[in-house]
Amino acid sequence: MKSILIKIPWLLLLIFVAGCQQKKAISTSNTSFGTNQIQFAKGLSIYKYEGYSVVKITNPWPKATQSYTYILQEKNGIVPDSLKQNTTIQVPVKKIVVTSTTHIPSLEMLGVENSLIGFPNLDYISSEKVRSRIDAGKIKELGNNQNLNTEILIDSAPDVIIGYGIDNNNPTLDNLQKSGLKVLLNGDWNEQTPLGKAEWIKLFGTLYGKEATAKKLFDAVVTSYQKTVALASKTSTKPTVLAGAIYENQWYLPQGNSWGCYFLKDANAQYLWADSNGTGSLSLSFETVLEKAQNADIWIGPGEFTSLQDMQISNPHYSQFKAFQNKKVFSYSTKKGKTGGIIFYELAPNRPDLVLKDMLKIMHPEVLPDYQLYFFEQLQ
Protein backbone atom coordinates (compact mmCIF):
# COMPACT_ATOMS: atom_id res chain seq x y z
CA MET A 1 0.00 0.00 0.00
CA LYS A 2 1.87 2.96 -1.10
CA SER A 3 1.78 6.10 -3.13
CA ILE A 4 1.13 9.69 -2.26
CA LEU A 5 -1.86 10.29 -0.19
CA ILE A 6 -3.32 7.47 -2.25
CA LYS A 7 -2.03 4.33 -0.70
CA ILE A 8 -1.25 4.26 2.79
CA PRO A 9 0.43 1.55 4.58
CA TRP A 10 0.03 1.31 8.07
CA LEU A 11 -0.54 0.37 11.29
CA LEU A 12 -0.32 0.39 15.09
CA LEU A 13 0.40 -0.14 18.72
CA LEU A 14 0.67 -1.88 21.94
CA ILE A 15 1.23 -1.88 25.59
CA PHE A 16 1.44 -3.56 28.95
CA VAL A 17 1.24 -3.28 32.72
CA ALA A 18 0.41 -5.83 35.33
CA GLY A 19 -1.59 -6.51 38.48
CA CYS A 20 -2.01 -3.62 40.89
CA GLN A 21 -0.02 -1.35 38.57
CA GLN A 22 -2.69 -1.89 35.94
CA LYS A 23 -5.50 -1.14 38.36
CA LYS A 24 -3.77 2.08 39.34
CA ALA A 25 -3.34 3.06 35.70
CA ILE A 26 -7.00 2.40 35.05
CA SER A 27 -8.16 4.60 37.88
CA THR A 28 -5.86 7.48 36.97
CA SER A 29 -6.86 7.42 33.30
CA ASN A 30 -10.62 7.45 33.98
CA THR A 31 -11.07 4.04 32.38
CA SER A 32 -14.56 2.65 32.99
CA PHE A 33 -15.07 -1.09 33.19
CA GLY A 34 -17.32 -2.42 30.48
CA THR A 35 -17.39 0.76 28.39
CA ASN A 36 -15.80 1.21 25.00
CA GLN A 37 -12.43 2.94 25.32
CA ILE A 38 -12.41 4.05 21.66
CA GLN A 39 -13.59 7.48 20.54
CA PHE A 40 -12.54 8.06 16.90
CA ALA A 41 -11.75 4.69 15.31
CA LYS A 42 -14.68 3.08 13.50
CA GLY A 43 -13.32 -0.45 13.20
CA LEU A 44 -12.06 -0.98 16.76
CA SER A 45 -13.75 -1.39 20.13
CA ILE A 46 -12.04 -2.19 23.44
CA TYR A 47 -14.04 -3.12 26.53
CA LYS A 48 -12.14 -3.40 29.81
CA TYR A 49 -13.29 -5.82 32.51
CA GLU A 50 -11.80 -7.18 35.71
CA GLY A 51 -9.02 -9.54 34.61
CA TYR A 52 -9.56 -9.32 30.86
CA SER A 53 -10.42 -7.08 27.92
CA VAL A 54 -12.67 -7.71 24.92
CA VAL A 55 -11.33 -6.40 21.61
CA LYS A 56 -13.66 -6.23 18.61
CA ILE A 57 -12.38 -5.63 15.07
CA THR A 58 -15.38 -4.79 12.89
CA ASN A 59 -13.87 -3.43 9.70
CA PRO A 60 -10.54 -5.19 9.01
CA TRP A 61 -10.73 -4.52 5.26
CA PRO A 62 -12.98 -2.58 2.85
CA LYS A 63 -16.57 -3.87 2.73
CA ALA A 64 -15.86 -6.55 5.33
CA THR A 65 -18.92 -8.52 6.38
CA GLN A 66 -17.27 -10.42 9.21
CA SER A 67 -16.11 -9.07 12.56
CA TYR A 68 -13.51 -10.56 14.92
CA THR A 69 -13.52 -10.73 18.70
CA TYR A 70 -10.43 -11.34 20.82
CA ILE A 71 -10.10 -11.87 24.56
CA LEU A 72 -6.98 -10.41 26.16
CA GLN A 73 -6.65 -12.29 29.43
CA GLU A 74 -4.52 -11.05 32.30
CA LYS A 75 -2.72 -13.36 34.69
CA ASN A 76 -5.26 -15.10 36.94
CA GLY A 77 -8.08 -13.33 35.11
CA ILE A 78 -11.33 -15.27 34.82
CA VAL A 79 -13.01 -15.18 31.41
CA PRO A 80 -16.77 -15.93 31.30
CA ASP A 81 -17.74 -19.16 29.57
CA SER A 82 -19.78 -17.16 27.05
CA LEU A 83 -16.56 -15.63 25.67
CA LYS A 84 -14.32 -18.68 25.58
CA GLN A 85 -15.12 -19.52 21.95
CA ASN A 86 -13.10 -16.47 20.90
CA THR A 87 -9.34 -16.37 20.42
CA THR A 88 -7.75 -15.73 23.81
CA ILE A 89 -4.38 -14.01 24.12
CA GLN A 90 -2.46 -13.89 27.38
CA VAL A 91 -1.38 -10.37 28.32
CA PRO A 92 0.88 -8.62 28.80
CA VAL A 93 2.61 -10.09 25.77
CA LYS A 94 6.35 -10.68 25.96
CA LYS A 95 7.10 -11.58 22.34
CA ILE A 96 5.31 -10.14 19.32
CA VAL A 97 5.38 -10.33 15.53
CA VAL A 98 3.89 -7.47 13.52
CA THR A 99 3.45 -7.41 9.76
CA SER A 100 3.17 -3.73 8.81
CA THR A 101 5.67 -0.93 9.33
CA THR A 102 2.79 1.14 10.64
CA HIS A 103 2.72 -1.09 13.73
CA ILE A 104 6.34 -0.23 14.57
CA PRO A 105 5.81 3.32 15.91
CA SER A 106 3.24 2.10 18.42
CA LEU A 107 5.75 -0.33 19.87
CA GLU A 108 8.40 2.37 20.03
CA MET A 109 6.09 5.03 21.49
CA LEU A 110 5.09 2.59 24.22
CA GLY A 111 8.70 1.64 24.88
CA VAL A 112 8.20 -2.05 24.06
CA GLU A 113 10.08 -2.34 20.77
CA ASN A 114 12.40 -4.90 22.38
CA SER A 115 9.50 -7.38 22.36
CA LEU A 116 9.48 -7.48 18.54
CA ILE A 117 11.02 -10.76 17.37
CA GLY A 118 10.01 -11.03 13.71
CA PHE A 119 8.84 -9.02 10.70
CA PRO A 120 8.36 -9.62 6.96
CA ASN A 121 10.59 -7.57 4.63
CA LEU A 122 12.90 -6.09 7.26
CA ASP A 123 14.33 -3.52 4.84
CA TYR A 124 11.06 -1.59 4.95
CA ILE A 125 11.59 -0.66 8.61
CA SER A 126 12.97 2.85 9.16
CA SER A 127 12.94 3.15 12.97
CA GLU A 128 16.54 3.59 14.16
CA LYS A 129 15.87 1.74 17.42
CA VAL A 130 14.36 -1.24 15.65
CA ARG A 131 17.02 -1.24 12.94
CA SER A 132 19.71 -1.55 15.63
CA ARG A 133 17.95 -4.67 16.89
CA ILE A 134 17.74 -6.00 13.34
CA ASP A 135 21.47 -5.41 12.87
CA ALA A 136 22.09 -7.27 16.14
CA GLY A 137 20.15 -10.29 14.82
CA LYS A 138 17.37 -9.97 17.39
CA ILE A 139 14.54 -9.65 14.86
CA LYS A 140 14.04 -12.42 12.32
CA GLU A 141 13.19 -12.01 8.64
CA LEU A 142 9.85 -13.67 7.94
CA GLY A 143 9.67 -13.39 4.15
CA ASN A 144 6.64 -11.50 2.88
CA ASN A 145 3.08 -10.99 4.06
CA GLN A 146 1.56 -13.32 1.51
CA ASN A 147 3.91 -16.16 2.40
CA LEU A 148 5.15 -15.82 5.96
CA ASN A 149 7.78 -18.34 7.03
CA THR A 150 5.69 -20.65 9.19
CA GLU A 151 8.69 -22.69 10.35
CA ILE A 152 10.46 -19.65 11.77
CA LEU A 153 7.27 -18.41 13.39
CA ILE A 154 6.54 -21.72 15.09
CA ASP A 155 10.14 -21.93 16.30
CA SER A 156 10.04 -18.33 17.59
CA ALA A 157 6.74 -18.91 19.44
CA PRO A 158 5.47 -15.32 19.63
CA ASP A 159 2.67 -14.60 22.08
CA VAL A 160 0.74 -12.96 19.25
CA ILE A 161 1.07 -12.17 15.54
CA ILE A 162 -0.48 -8.87 14.47
CA GLY A 163 -1.62 -9.41 10.91
CA TYR A 164 -3.83 -7.64 8.41
CA GLY A 165 -5.87 -8.68 5.42
CA ILE A 166 -6.98 -6.90 2.29
CA ASP A 167 -9.99 -9.20 1.92
CA ASN A 168 -11.46 -12.37 3.36
CA ASN A 169 -8.86 -14.58 1.68
CA ASN A 170 -5.95 -14.92 4.11
CA PRO A 171 -4.60 -18.48 3.75
CA THR A 172 -1.25 -17.64 5.37
CA LEU A 173 -2.85 -16.29 8.53
CA ASP A 174 -5.34 -19.17 8.58
CA ASN A 175 -2.50 -21.69 8.42
CA LEU A 176 -0.67 -19.97 11.26
CA GLN A 177 -3.75 -20.25 13.46
CA LYS A 178 -4.11 -23.92 12.57
CA SER A 179 -0.50 -24.35 13.72
CA GLY A 180 -1.51 -23.13 17.16
CA LEU A 181 -0.23 -19.58 16.89
CA LYS A 182 -2.30 -16.62 18.07
CA VAL A 183 -3.19 -14.20 15.23
CA LEU A 184 -4.92 -10.86 15.77
CA LEU A 185 -6.15 -8.96 12.72
CA ASN A 186 -5.35 -5.25 12.76
CA GLY A 187 -7.63 -3.05 10.67
CA ASP A 188 -5.96 0.29 11.33
CA TRP A 189 -5.04 0.72 7.68
CA ASN A 190 -8.74 0.70 6.75
CA GLU A 191 -9.59 3.66 9.00
CA GLN A 192 -10.31 6.78 6.94
CA THR A 193 -9.86 9.61 9.44
CA PRO A 194 -6.46 10.72 10.77
CA LEU A 195 -7.41 10.46 14.44
CA GLY A 196 -9.31 7.22 13.88
CA LYS A 197 -6.22 5.59 12.41
CA ALA A 198 -3.94 6.90 15.17
CA GLU A 199 -6.22 5.68 17.95
CA TRP A 200 -5.28 2.07 17.21
CA ILE A 201 -2.29 2.61 19.50
CA LYS A 202 -4.78 1.73 22.23
CA LEU A 203 -4.92 -1.83 20.89
CA PHE A 204 -1.22 -2.22 21.52
CA GLY A 205 -1.63 -0.54 24.88
CA THR A 206 -4.11 -3.22 25.88
CA LEU A 207 -1.82 -5.99 24.62
CA TYR A 208 1.00 -4.74 26.85
CA GLY A 209 -0.97 -3.64 29.89
CA LYS A 210 -0.13 -0.02 29.12
CA GLU A 211 -3.60 1.32 28.56
CA ALA A 212 -2.92 4.53 30.48
CA THR A 213 0.26 5.22 28.53
CA ALA A 214 -1.45 4.63 25.20
CA LYS A 215 -4.31 6.94 26.16
CA LYS A 216 -1.91 9.67 27.25
CA LEU A 217 0.06 9.43 24.01
CA PHE A 218 -3.06 9.47 21.88
CA ASP A 219 -4.65 12.33 23.80
CA ALA A 220 -1.51 14.40 23.17
CA VAL A 221 -1.82 13.74 19.43
CA VAL A 222 -5.49 14.74 19.49
CA THR A 223 -4.74 17.99 21.32
CA SER A 224 -1.91 18.84 18.94
CA TYR A 225 -4.04 18.01 15.89
CA GLN A 226 -7.01 20.06 17.03
CA LYS A 227 -4.84 23.07 17.84
CA THR A 228 -3.50 22.99 14.28
CA VAL A 229 -7.02 22.73 12.87
CA ALA A 230 -7.93 25.84 14.86
CA LEU A 231 -4.96 27.73 13.42
CA ALA A 232 -5.87 26.69 9.89
CA SER A 233 -9.47 27.80 10.34
CA LYS A 234 -8.31 31.39 10.83
CA THR A 235 -6.63 31.63 7.43
CA SER A 236 -8.44 33.66 4.78
CA THR A 237 -7.17 31.99 1.60
CA LYS A 238 -7.67 28.45 0.34
CA PRO A 239 -4.94 27.32 -2.08
CA THR A 240 -5.90 24.82 -4.77
CA VAL A 241 -4.17 21.43 -4.61
CA LEU A 242 -3.19 18.76 -7.11
CA ALA A 243 -1.99 15.34 -5.94
CA GLY A 244 -0.47 12.15 -7.30
CA ALA A 245 1.42 11.31 -10.48
CA ILE A 246 1.35 9.10 -13.57
CA TYR A 247 1.89 5.38 -13.28
CA GLU A 248 1.63 3.17 -16.37
CA ASN A 249 -0.10 5.90 -18.38
CA GLN A 250 -2.72 6.64 -15.74
CA TRP A 251 -2.73 9.45 -13.19
CA TYR A 252 -3.54 8.12 -9.73
CA LEU A 253 -4.77 10.51 -7.07
CA PRO A 254 -6.81 10.15 -3.87
CA GLN A 255 -10.58 10.19 -3.81
CA GLY A 256 -12.34 12.85 -1.80
CA ASN A 257 -13.07 10.76 1.31
CA SER A 258 -9.63 9.19 1.62
CA TRP A 259 -7.34 9.49 4.62
CA GLY A 260 -4.98 11.97 2.96
CA CYS A 261 -7.77 14.31 1.88
CA TYR A 262 -8.77 14.94 5.50
CA PHE A 263 -5.44 16.69 6.05
CA LEU A 264 -6.00 19.01 3.10
CA LYS A 265 -9.48 19.91 4.33
CA ASP A 266 -8.27 20.47 7.89
CA ALA A 267 -5.39 22.63 6.60
CA ASN A 268 -7.95 24.83 4.81
CA ALA A 269 -6.86 23.87 1.31
CA GLN A 270 -9.04 23.15 -1.72
CA TYR A 271 -8.28 19.73 -3.09
CA LEU A 272 -9.55 19.80 -6.66
CA TRP A 273 -11.08 16.32 -6.44
CA ALA A 274 -12.58 16.77 -2.97
CA ASP A 275 -16.08 16.16 -4.32
CA SER A 276 -15.24 12.68 -5.64
CA ASN A 277 -16.88 9.90 -3.63
CA GLY A 278 -14.81 7.05 -2.29
CA THR A 279 -11.88 6.29 -0.04
CA GLY A 280 -9.47 4.81 -2.56
CA SER A 281 -7.83 6.36 -5.59
CA LEU A 282 -8.97 7.78 -8.91
CA SER A 283 -7.39 6.66 -12.17
CA LEU A 284 -7.49 9.45 -14.75
CA SER A 285 -5.87 10.37 -18.05
CA PHE A 286 -3.17 13.02 -18.16
CA GLU A 287 -5.41 15.24 -20.25
CA THR A 288 -8.22 15.09 -17.68
CA VAL A 289 -5.89 16.11 -14.86
CA LEU A 290 -4.24 18.86 -16.89
CA GLU A 291 -7.57 20.39 -17.81
CA LYS A 292 -8.66 20.63 -14.19
CA ALA A 293 -5.41 21.22 -12.32
CA GLN A 294 -3.01 23.00 -14.67
CA ASN A 295 -3.27 26.15 -12.56
CA ALA A 296 -3.34 24.47 -9.16
CA ASP A 297 -1.30 26.38 -6.58
CA ILE A 298 0.33 23.37 -4.92
CA TRP A 299 1.20 19.81 -5.91
CA ILE A 300 1.35 17.26 -3.10
CA GLY A 301 2.84 13.77 -3.18
CA PRO A 302 4.02 13.27 -6.80
CA GLY A 303 4.57 9.54 -6.46
CA GLU A 304 8.06 8.63 -5.28
CA PHE A 305 9.94 11.29 -7.23
CA THR A 306 12.61 13.07 -5.21
CA SER A 307 13.43 16.00 -7.54
CA LEU A 308 11.82 18.14 -10.22
CA GLN A 309 14.48 16.93 -12.63
CA ASP A 310 13.44 13.32 -12.08
CA MET A 311 9.84 14.29 -12.75
CA GLN A 312 10.79 16.13 -15.94
CA ILE A 313 12.80 13.17 -17.21
CA SER A 314 9.97 10.77 -16.44
CA ASN A 315 7.36 12.91 -18.20
CA PRO A 316 8.21 16.29 -19.76
CA HIS A 317 4.52 17.21 -19.69
CA TYR A 318 4.67 17.66 -15.90
CA SER A 319 6.24 21.05 -16.63
CA GLN A 320 2.90 22.26 -17.99
CA PHE A 321 1.54 22.61 -14.47
CA LYS A 322 1.84 25.96 -12.71
CA ALA A 323 2.80 24.28 -9.43
CA PHE A 324 5.75 22.60 -11.18
CA GLN A 325 6.84 25.86 -12.82
CA ASN A 326 6.68 27.69 -9.48
CA LYS A 327 8.46 24.87 -7.63
CA LYS A 328 5.46 24.33 -5.38
CA VAL A 329 5.80 20.56 -5.46
CA PHE A 330 6.09 18.76 -2.11
CA SER A 331 6.96 15.10 -1.54
CA TYR A 332 7.40 12.75 1.40
CA SER A 333 9.57 10.36 -0.61
CA THR A 334 12.84 12.14 0.05
CA LYS A 335 13.03 11.18 3.72
CA LYS A 336 14.01 7.55 4.14
CA GLY A 337 15.39 5.16 6.69
CA LYS A 338 18.76 3.44 6.57
CA THR A 339 17.62 0.73 4.17
CA GLY A 340 15.35 2.85 2.00
CA GLY A 341 12.03 2.62 3.79
CA ILE A 342 9.99 5.82 3.48
CA ILE A 343 9.49 7.32 6.94
CA PHE A 344 6.09 8.75 6.05
CA TYR A 345 4.65 5.31 5.36
CA GLU A 346 5.81 4.05 8.75
CA LEU A 347 5.14 6.95 11.10
CA ALA A 348 2.45 9.18 9.57
CA PRO A 349 -0.54 7.04 10.67
CA ASN A 350 0.58 7.35 14.30
CA ARG A 351 1.42 11.04 14.08
CA PRO A 352 -1.34 12.76 12.09
CA ASP A 353 -0.64 15.90 14.08
CA LEU A 354 2.76 16.18 12.39
CA VAL A 355 1.26 15.49 8.97
CA LEU A 356 -1.28 18.26 9.51
CA LYS A 357 1.40 20.71 10.63
CA ASP A 358 3.29 19.91 7.44
CA MET A 359 0.14 20.57 5.41
CA LEU A 360 -0.52 23.86 7.19
CA LYS A 361 3.08 24.96 6.67
CA ILE A 362 2.81 24.15 2.96
CA MET A 363 -0.62 25.71 2.43
CA HIS A 364 -0.26 28.71 4.75
CA PRO A 365 3.44 29.15 5.58
CA GLU A 366 2.84 32.44 7.39
CA VAL A 367 0.88 30.65 10.15
CA LEU A 368 3.85 28.52 11.28
CA PRO A 369 6.86 30.68 10.39
CA ASP A 370 9.39 28.75 12.52
CA TYR A 371 8.11 25.23 11.85
CA GLN A 372 10.30 22.88 9.80
CA LEU A 373 8.59 20.28 7.64
CA TYR A 374 8.76 16.85 9.27
CA PHE A 375 7.65 14.41 6.57
CA PHE A 376 7.48 16.51 3.41
CA GLU A 377 10.12 18.39 1.45
CA GLN A 378 9.85 20.96 -1.32
CA LEU A 379 11.33 19.48 -4.47
CA GLN A 380 14.06 21.34 -6.31
Does the pLDDT at position 174 exceed 50?
Answer: yes
Does the pLDDT at position 3 exceed 80?
Answer: no
Res 6: pLDDT: 36
Assign domain 19-224 to its CATH architecture.
Answer: 3-Layer(aba) Sandwich (3.40)
Does the pLDDT at position 190 exceed 70?
Answer: yes
Res 206: pLDDT: 98
Res 145: pLDDT: 83
Choice between 259 and 6, residue whose per-residue pLDDT is larger: 259
pLDDT band at 33 (very low <50, low <70, confident <90, very high): low
Fold match flag (19-224 vs 232-378): yes
Mean pLDDT of the chain: 90
* % of the chain at pLDDT higher than 90: 83
Break the chain down into helix, strand, coil percent, rounded to 5.
35, 20, 45
Cα separation, 379 vs 302, in Å, equals: 10
Cα separation, 239 vs 219, in Å, equals: 30
Choice between 66 and 212, residue whose per-residue pLDDT is larger: 212
Domain positions in the chain:
19-224, 232-378
State whether residue 233 is helix, strand or coil: helix
Res 342: pLDDT: 96
Ranges 135-149, 231-245, 284-298, 306-320: which has the least confidence: 135-149
Does the pLDDT at position 54 exceed 50?
Answer: yes
Distance of CA 307 to the CA centre of its chain: 26
Tell me how far CA of residue 127 lies from CA of 2, 5, 333, in angstroms.
18, 21, 16
Does the pLDDT at position 210 exceed 70?
Answer: yes
Q: Which CATH class is domain 232-378?
A: alpha beta
* H helical segments located in 72-149: 104-109, 128-135
Does the pLDDT at position 5 exceed 50?
Answer: no
pLDDT band at 26 (very low <50, low <70, confident <90, very high): very low
Average pLDDT value for residue range 150-178 = 90
Does the pLDDT at position 124 exceed 50?
Answer: yes
Taking alpha carbons only, the member of 222, 200, 217 closest to residue 55 is: 200
The predicted model scores a pTM of 0.89
Pairing of strands 87-90, 68-73: parallel
Average pLDDT value for residue range 303-331 = 97
Res 129: pLDDT: 97
> How many Å is the maximal CA-CA distance in the chain?
67
Res 147: pLDDT: 85
Res 175: pLDDT: 86
Amino acid type, 245: A
Choice between 295 and 171, residue whose per-residue pLDDT is larger: 295
pLDDT band at 300 (very low <50, low <70, confident <90, very high): very high
Res 11: pLDDT: 32
Average pLDDT value for residue range 331-360 = 97
Average pLDDT value for residue range 159-183 = 89
Pairing of strands 52-57, 183-185: unpaired
Does the pLDDT at position 1 exceed 70?
Answer: no
